[in-house]
Amino acid sequence: MAIVSGLGASDVAETSTSTANSVSKSPALNDWIAQVARLTQPDQIIWLDGSPAERQRLIRRAVEVGVLIPLSESKRPGSYLHRSNPNDVARSEEFTLVCAPSKDEAGPTNNWAPPDETYAKLSGWLAGSMRGRTMYVIPYIMGPAGSPFAKVGIEVSDSIYVALSMGIMTRMGDVALEMLGDRDDFNRGLHCTLDMNPDRRLICHFPQDNAIWSVGSGYGGNALLSKKCFALRIAGVLGRKEGWLAEHMMILGLQSPAGQTTYVAGAFPSACGKTNLAMLTPPAALNGWRVFTIGDDIAWLRVGADGRLWAVNPEAGYFGVAPGTSAKSNANAMRMLERDTMFTNAAMTPDGDVWWEGMDTEPPPGLIDWQGRVWSKDSKDKAAHPNARFTVPMRNNPVLSPHVNDPRGVPIDAIIFGGRRAATVPLVLESTDWTHGVLMGAMMGSETTAAAVGKVGVLRRDPMAMLPFCGYNMGDYFAHWLKMRGTVRRPPRVFMVNWFRKDRDGRFVWPGYGENLRALKWMLDRIHGRIGARETPVGLVPNEEGLDLAGLALGADVLKESLAVRDDEWRVEMNSAGEFFTKLEPHMPAELKERHRSLASRLSGNGASKRSASH
């Protein structure tokens, strides 16, 4: 077994050859790597340093072995296409386990297995699993280096695709080893693709050990262990202990024409609009406004000395949904993807570019679909997988906030919860206080999307967009949110939004995308006390003249429908949330149940005829 720092035997001369025990200054890290190597038996171990030269070497190797297909240097410079195993195209929630010491700690919304048994079973699968393969040691930082928010993780992986993705998604390499120094408080992530067999696929979290073992998948959220596994499930447990929040939220800065910037964090379930909102282009009629991106998927939120909630984006890149991204829907994303991007499961044009549904360009003849087959307009299947993704460094984002690397983070004045709801939930709804805001988050429901394996379009409860990402008991998670009110002396205002309401013909009522700025603007007007609102039993909605609709031809009936709060629909909603809360007993906080009861009691008993829940 060759143990080298840098890539491959031929590169040894230009880096330093080291022994397993002297690569990092952390004895705990070196011991752990030696232990993993004894178990998995790789042919060689490569510690990634994160340098551009190393990245180029890794890319060359990935192209040689067919993991990456180079795209046209003139059309997409520095960009590559990856085609995954067709059985491995989305997060696998049924194979995701929280192996806390007791089932009760994981709670009823997580799959649980006993830690000892799971370690033993996976050790069996992993024994000798990297024979003939290279083991990459991937040190990374979540959060800006030197920030009090920042945490170090080490992912060990046998996948060059994972190694390259982690180089985009995190601050990866020597910078992380430097931050770790000789300490032992790093997240231990062990990833092995095995034979990509769904029968031997498990993504296991051990919060008590700050450890993750993921086997049998190479897909984003299953395999890039920094992301959902560490930054949400494990970090959530750490945050509860240490008094902060790890959330599935985008973070944006909204600058008014007067130059004042307000920061907003928003939780939307997977494939429900975070990336798009975080980099939206204001509509022409509101062009004095500007949006700047802090993050598109994950927020770590802490209480500042000023009693406000401050947020950082722990990531350094975006792993975003490609389909639906066009010059019209998200011009900033299209510009960001012009270079240095890895695409996964997109279609490829004969001249070496990518294509996907909703790109708003004609698919060219001779298009190759995501599985490498020739595609035509008559094909039944989509050319790009509905969960095709791009992996791109945040520095490519033309509207990246100058504060994205600020170690203090940014102060959050509004939190938004938004699901994908064909009915019931209005365009924007404001809570009256923190407890009501927490209840809004806890009551969230959303229709499932292609981001996770399973049926698409099924309404399910997805509190705070965290159903698949909360690493401990969901009832305790609600209690933690309520408890934060004690330390957040100047809490953000909490809103619920819905960009996805549909009319009778199944068309979206609201134009969405850049037009969502109008809802954000209303929130700012509310926060700064500039505008009134209409009271409903479940919260405050804009008066019809309250939304700035300049330049938007929206029929009066459409506006009315967007803002409608109907008692009969909300009775169904309240009941559904109530049933969900019952499942969380005995961990469900009394304060939330009480507020839920009191809101439900305000809905008219039998005002409208009982419609079925046609969400």
Site for ligand SPV, rule CB under 6 A: 91, 220-221, 227-228, 270, 297, 319, 451
DSSP-assigned letter for residue 111: B
Taking the complex as a whole, the smallest distance from the CB of residue 268 to ligand SPV amounts, in Å, to: 9
First-to-final CA distance of the chain: 57
Please give the structure tokens belonging to residue 394.
Answer: 């945040």
Least distance to ligand SPV from the beta carbon of 530, Å?
A: 34
CB 404 within 8 A of CB 313: yes
Integer Cα distance of 525 and 528 in angstroms: 5
Q: How many CB atoms lie within 10 A of CB 131?
A: 10
Active site residue 272: yes
CA angle 486, 492, 493 (to 5 degrees): 115
* Nearest-CB residue for ligand SPV: 221
Query: CA dihedral in degrees (92, 95, 100, 104; nearest 10)?
Result: 90
Q: Which is nearer to ligand SPV, 315 or 569 (CB)?
A: 315
**Chain residues in the site for Mn ion (CB under 5 A):** 270, 297
The residues near 386 (Cβ < 8 Å, ≥ 6 apart) are 323, 357, 450, 456
For residues 59 and 298, which CB has a smaller minimum distance to Mn ion in the complex? 298
228 binds, among Mn ion, ligand GTP, ligand SPV, none (CB under 5 to 8 A by kind): ligand SPV
Residue 227 touches which of ligand SPV, Mn ion, ligand GTP, none (CB < 5 to 8 A by kind)? ligand SPV
In three-state secondary structure terms, 536 is strand
> Residue 221 touches which of Mn ion, ligand GTP, ligand SPV, none (CB < 5 to 8 A by kind)?
ligand SPV
What's the per-residue H, E or C state across 471-501? CCCHHHHHHHHHHHCCCCCCCCEEEEECCCC
Whole-number Å distance between alpha carbons of 72 and 497: 40
Q: Is the peptide bond before 511 cis (omega within 30 degrees of 0)?
A: no
Binding site for ligand GTP (CB under 6 A): 268, 270-276, 296-297, 320-321, 323-325, 329, 451, 499-500, 508, 512-513, 516
Smallest separation, CB 299 to ligand SPV (Å): 13
What region does 440 belong to: left with phi over 0, alpha with psi -120 to 50, or beta?
A: alpha
Nearer to ligand GTP, 7 or 321 (CB): 321
Task: Give me the least distance between CB of 600 and ligand SPV, in Å please.
Answer: 30
Minimum CB–partner distance for residue 61 and ligand GTP (Å): 28
**363 vs 441 by CB, closer to ligand SPV:** 441
Per partner kind, with CB cut-offs from 5 to 8 A, the member of Mn ion, ligand SPV, ligand GTP, none near residue 268 is ligand GTP
Given the residues 99, 204, 229, 272, select the one marked as catalytic. Answer: 272
Distance CA 529, CA 156 (A): 51
Of these partners, Mn ion, ligand SPV, ligand GTP, none, which one is at the site of residue 513 (CB under 5 to 8 Å by kind)?
A: ligand GTP
Q: State which residue, 65 or 284, has the beta carbon closest to ligand GTP.
A: 284
Given a contact cutoff of 8 angstroms between Cβ atoms, the answer to whether 228 and 452 are in contact is: no
Nearer to ligand GTP, 321 or 392 (CB): 321
d(CA 537, CA 564): 12
324 binds, options ligand GTP, ligand SPV, Mn ion, none, Cβ within 5 to 8 A by partner type: ligand GTP
> Least distance in Å: CB of 88 to ligand SPV?
11
| CA-wise closest residue to 297 among 333, 266, 341 | 266
Q: What residues are annotated to the active site?
A: 272
